[in-house]
């Protein structure tokens, strides 16, 4: 049996508990709040101008929402696969469920299935893949296709075809980081749309390659120098991968979060003392992506360990304002004090554990140390429902939503396990994003 067919069987054989449905609703809340919170940004304006989704164009609606989800760098992260599954899977599932007027539990079941497929393929690509390829973009289409396949009621063969044609659409390179380009938002937009398209085609009998993963000219052969094919179907008895996914408390690359968490912990100990030197021990992948000593724009600052650690130590917090021009200027003299290196113990634990070690030397001769094996938001140190609601509310208000409407939307999303219609969410109802209706509503 092919890996793809085995993956479909594994996903469809997994038991779903009420707790799983509730967890899924929390991740839906987090992802949709990240999307709606980005509506006032320039990338969102461009997405809406070039690709305004019309009601009835399910793939394009998934594209638009998928692009929005990843703009603020606040969406979830699955450590073992190094993917952001929510920003690809949830837009695809929402677009299909909304188009076909499906209900909450079917939607949440599809979300669980999509996370499972995306994360399991991501765990199989090997560490080298991430050095060039953006795992969310390459592995995400498998998740969006699996979610759409569940909602469209595809047979086993059709689901295999959908995953096969999702895999052949995989793409997404890290080169955008060199200039701080907007490509990352296109990665998630395409990842969501590709899976929807693949599932729709499969429903009509459009075949796809069954051995897309392990075939001689398949995904592993083309994209992976050190694949681990067995990871696709390993430990089927594990809890759903969604429940093993982290939620972000800070609006920057997840690789910076363990160091931010440790630095915030040291802030009060410093008591405002002048910092002479900071050493950060991390894993190699964090340095590959986030060694940026002189970020020149907000986006590159979000991928700078030097900036994130410096401002966390100085301010004791990290928020959207931490990356603006004023904050970057304020940290210009602090970032050079931050030295990065690979810590062997931290590196060997990655990707199972995303950790960091920080030592701060003060001008008056003190040495302070902190380490994290799990950052705030990881399953071992989770963000609770109330904390997540606070995060979601702040994002929705930033996106232009009135407080009453934000509270109502949060309540509806958390009520999805009671099987309310997905259309009740009215994500892009006129006026929700401020004075003008957002692009999706205007085109509907």
Q: How far is CA 369 from the centre of its chain?
A: 30
Q: Assign 284 a pLDDT band (cuts: 50, 70, 90).
A: very high
Average pLDDT, the chain: 94
pLDDT at position 329: 97
Domain boundaries, the chain: 3-244, 254-372
The DSSP output letter for 280 is: E
Indicate the pairing of strand 367-372 with strand 356-362.
antiparallel
* DSSP calls for 322-352: GGSHHHHHHTTTTGGGEEEEE-HHHHHHTTT
Is there a contact between 27 and 242 (Cβ–Cβ < 8 Å)?
yes
Q: Assign 386 a pLDDT band (cuts: 50, 70, 90).
A: very high
The CATH code that applies to domain 254-372 is: 3.30.1330.120
pLDDT at position 179: 87
pLDDT surpassing 70 at residue 441: no
Is there a contact between 24 and 242 (Cβ–Cβ < 8 Å)?
yes
Tokens of 287: 């340095």
Q: Which residues of 354-386 are buried (b: 16+ CB within 10 A; e: fewer)?
A: bbbbbbbebeeeeebebbbbbbbbbeeebbeee
* DSSP calls for 79-147: TTTTB-THHHHHHHHHHHHHHTT-BHHHHHHHHHHHHHHHHHHHHHS-TGGGGTB-HHHHHHHHHHHHH
* DSSP calls for 350-393: TTT---EEEEEEETTS-EEEEEESS-TTSTTSPPPHHHHHHHHH
- Closest C-alpha among 137, 356, 128, 143 to residue 225: 128
Query: pTM surpassing 0.85?
Result: yes
- Closest C-alpha among 111, 34, 25, 24 to residue 69: 34
User: Any idea which residue has 């461009």 for tokens?
Assistant: 46
pLDDT surpassing 70 at residue 131: yes
Is there a contact between 62 and 95 (Cβ–Cβ < 8 Å)?
yes
Average pLDDT over residues 128-154: 97
pLDDT per position as a tens digit, 165-220: 999 999 999 999 888 899 999 999 999 999 999 999 999 999 999 999 999 999 99
Query: What gap in Å lies between CA 172 and CA 93, rounded to an integer?
Result: 21
**H/E segment holding residue 196:** helix 183-203
Q: Assign 440 a pLDDT band (cuts: 50, 70, 90).
A: very low
Least confident of 50-54, 109-113, 395-399: 50-54
HSE value, Cβ hemisphere, 13 Å, CA-based, for 164: 22
Domain 3-244 grouped into CATH 3.40.50.970: no
Tokens of 369: 């140390």
pLDDT at position 439: 40
């Amino acid at each position: 049996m092919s890996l793809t067919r085995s993956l479909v069987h594994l996903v469809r054989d997994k038991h779903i508990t009420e707790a799983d449905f509730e967890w899924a609703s929390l991740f839906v809340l987090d992802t949709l709040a990240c999307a709606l919170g980005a509506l006032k940004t320039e990338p969102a304006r461009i997405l809406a101008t070039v690709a305004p989704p019309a009601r009835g164009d399910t793939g394009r609606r998934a594209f638009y929402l998928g692009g929005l989800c990843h703009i603020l760098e606040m969406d979830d992260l699955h450590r073992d696969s190094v993917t952001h599954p929510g920003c690809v899977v949830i837009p695809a599932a929402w677009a299909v469920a909304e188009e076909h007027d499906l209900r909450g539990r079917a939607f949440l079941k599809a979300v669980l299935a999509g996370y499972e497929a995306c994360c399991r393929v991501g765990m199989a690509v090997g560490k080298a893949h991430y050095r060039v390829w953006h795992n969310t973009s390459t592995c995400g289409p498998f998740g969006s296709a699996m979610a759409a396949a569940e909602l469209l009621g595809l047979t086993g063969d059709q689901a295999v075809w959908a995953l096969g044609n999702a895999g052949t659409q995989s793409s997404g390179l890290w080169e955008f980081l060199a200039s701080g380009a907007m490509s990352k938002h296109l990665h998630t937009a395409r990842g969501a749309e590709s899976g929807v398209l693949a599932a729709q085609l499969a429903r009509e009998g459009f075949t796809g390659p069954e051995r897309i993963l392990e075939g001689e000219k398949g995904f592993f052969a083309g994209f992976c120098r050190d694949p681990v094919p067995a990871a696709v179907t390993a430990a089927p008895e594990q809890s759903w991968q969604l429940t093993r996914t982290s939620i972000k408390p800070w609006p920057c690359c997840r690789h910076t979060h363990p160091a931010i968490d440790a630095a915030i912990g040291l802030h009060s100990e410093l008591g405002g003392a002048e910092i002479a030197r900071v050493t950060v021990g991390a894993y190699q992948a964090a340095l590959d992506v986030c060694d940026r000593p002189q970020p020149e724009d907000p986006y590159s600052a979000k991928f700078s360990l030097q900036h994130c650690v410096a401002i966390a130590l100085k301010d004791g917090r990290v928020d959207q304002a931490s990356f603006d021009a004023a904050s970057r200027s304020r940290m210009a003299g602090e970032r050079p004090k931050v030295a990065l290196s690979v810590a062997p113990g931290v590196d060997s634990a990655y990707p199972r554990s995303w950790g960091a070690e920080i030592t701060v030397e003060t001008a008056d001769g003190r040495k302070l140390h902190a380490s994290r094996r799990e950052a705030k938001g990881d399953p071992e140190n989770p963000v609770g429902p109330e904390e997540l609601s606070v995060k979601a509310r702040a994002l929705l208000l930033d996106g232009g939503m009135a407080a009453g409407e934000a509270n109502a939307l949060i309540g509806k999303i958390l009520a999805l396990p009671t099987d309310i219609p997905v259309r009740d969410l009215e994500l892009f109802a006129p006026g929700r994003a401020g004075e003008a209706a957002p692009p999706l509503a205007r085109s509907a």
